[in-house]
Amino acid sequence: MEYPKTHNFTLKYEDKADGGPPLVVHAIGPQNIVKRLQARELWGGRRVGTAKYLERSMYQSIFPNFTVTHVDKPPCFLRKFTPDGKHFIAFSSDQMSVEVYTFQGPEAATHLFQSSGTGYQQKRRRLDPTPDGLPPRSCAVPWGDIISSDDAHPRSQFIRKIAFETFFKLKFRITVAPPGEQLNRECSLFTDDSNYMIVGSATYIQDDQAHPQFHQMYRNNESVEPNSRFPLEDYSVHLVDIRHGMLSDTVHFGVDKIYLSHNQGIYLYNQTLAILSVQHQTVHIFHVGDGQFQPVRNIGRFCHEDDELVLSSAPLFRSNRPYEDVFINTLKHRLLVFIYKRAIETKDPADLARFHQYYEQMRKLRIWKMQLLDEDHLLLKYSSAEVVTLKSAEPNSQYCIFVIYNITETNILAVFENTSDRLVDLFEGFSDNFRNNFMTQDARYSSSPANNIYSK
Q: Is the pLDDT of residue 131 over 60?
A: no
Do strands 146-147 and 67-68 pair parallel, antiparallel, or not at all (unpaired)? Answer: parallel
State what percent of residues in the chain have pLDDT above 70.
77
pLDDT tens digits, residue range 164-175?
999 999 999 999
Lowest-confidence pick of 115-124, 262-271, 394-403: 115-124
The mean pLDDT value for 300-314 works out to 86
Task: Give the confidence band of 51 by pLDDT, cuts at 50, 70, 90.
Answer: low
| Predicted model pTM | 0.81
Is residue 308 one of the residues assigned to a domain?
Answer: no
Neighbours of 176 (CB within 10 A): 23
Is residue 50 one of the residues assigned to a domain?
Answer: yes
pLDDT tens digits, residue range 64-78?
778 888 899 999 999
How many domains, the chain? 4
Same domain, 151 and 261: no
Query: Contact, 282 vs 257, CB < 8 A?
Result: no
Q: In sequence order, what DSSP letters do the residues of 54-99 get, joined into one string?
A: HHHHGGGG-----EE-S----SEEEEEE-TTSSEEEEEETTSSEEE
Is residue 2 one of the residues assigned to a domain?
Answer: no
Is residue 313 one of the residues assigned to a domain?
Answer: no
Lowest-confidence pick of 139-153, 185-199, 255-269, 281-295: 139-153
Please enumerate in sequence order all residues whose Cβ is within 8 A of that of 302, keeping only pairs 6 or more positions apart, or say none.
308, 311, 329, 330
Lowest-confidence pick of 60-64, 147-151, 225-229: 60-64
User: Where among 151, 172, 193 does a domain terminate?
Assistant: 172
Do strands 233-241 and 266-269 pair parallel, antiparallel, or not at all (unpaired)? Answer: unpaired
The one-character DSSP state at 203 is E
State what percent of residues in the chain have pLDDT above 90.
50
Same domain, 209 and 294: yes
Predicted confidence at residue 23, as pLDDT, reads 65
How far is the C-alpha of 248 from the C-alpha of 242, rounded, in Å?
10
pLDDT mean across residues, the chain: 82
The mean pLDDT value for 126-132 works out to 45
Q: Exposure of 127 by Cβ count < 10 A (0-12 exposed, 13-18 middle, 19+ buried)?
A: buried
3-class SS of residue 256: strand
Predicted confidence at residue 14, as pLDDT, reads 52
Residue 423: give the domain boundaries. Answer: 330-455
Is residue 361 one of the residues assigned to a domain?
Answer: yes
Same domain, 432 and 357: yes
Predicted confidence at residue 60, as pLDDT, reads 72
Q: Exposure of 306 by Cβ count < 10 A (0-12 exposed, 13-18 middle, 19+ buried)?
A: exposed
Same domain, 90 and 126: yes
The mean pLDDT value for 176-197 works out to 94
How far is the C-alpha of 411 from the C-alpha of 295, rounded, in Å?
20
Predicted confidence at residue 172, as pLDDT, reads 96
Task: Give the confidence band of 441 by pLDDT, cuts at 50, 70, 90.
Answer: very low
Q: Is the pLDDT of residue 364 over 50?
A: yes
Top pLDDT among 106 and 351 is at 351
Q: Is the pLDDT of residue 340 over 50?
A: yes
Q: Which amino acid is at 278?
A: V
Same domain, 294 and 355: no
Please enumerate in sequence order all residues whose Cβ is within 8 A of that of 415, keeping only pairs 6 or more positions apart, or say none.
335, 338, 339, 342, 401, 402, 403, 404
Q: Is the pLDDT of residue 203 over 80?
A: yes
Same domain, 268 and 379: no
Same domain, 388 and 425: yes
The mean pLDDT value for 426-450 works out to 58
- What DSSP element (H or E) covers 217? helix 214-217
Same domain, 336 and 434: yes
Predicted confidence at residue 115, as pLDDT, reads 55
Top pLDDT among 78 and 434 is at 78
Q: Is the pLDDT of residue 149 over 90?
A: no
How far is the C-alpha of 240 from the C-alpha of 455, rounded, in Å?
33
Do strands 282-289 and 23-25 pair parallel, antiparallel, or not at all (unpaired)? Answer: unpaired
How far is the C-alpha of 55 from the C-alpha of 446, rounded, in Å?
9
Q: Is the pLDDT of residue 121 over 70?
A: no
C-alpha torsion angle, residues 222, 225, 229, 234 (rounded to 10): 70
Same domain, 73 and 131: yes
Query: Contact, 196 vs 291, CB < 8 A?
Result: yes
Lowest-confidence pick of 124-128, 169-173, 212-216, 250-254: 124-128
Please enumerate in sequence order all residues whose Cβ is within 8 A of that of 419, keeping only pairs 6 or more positions apart, or say none.
none
Same domain, 186 and 295: yes
Please enumerate in sequence order all residues whose Cβ is within 8 A of that of 115, keeping only pairs 6 or more positions apart, or say none.
122, 125, 126, 127, 128, 143
How far is the C-alpha of 339 from the C-alpha of 402, rounded, in Å?
12
Q: Is the pLDDT of residue 309 over 90?
A: no
Same domain, 150 and 188: no
Task: Give the confidence band of 188 by pLDDT, cuts at 50, 70, 90.
Answer: very high
Same domain, 53 and 75: no
Predicted confidence at residue 287, as pLDDT, reads 96
Task: Give the confidence band of 126 by pLDDT, cuts at 50, 70, 90.
Answer: very low
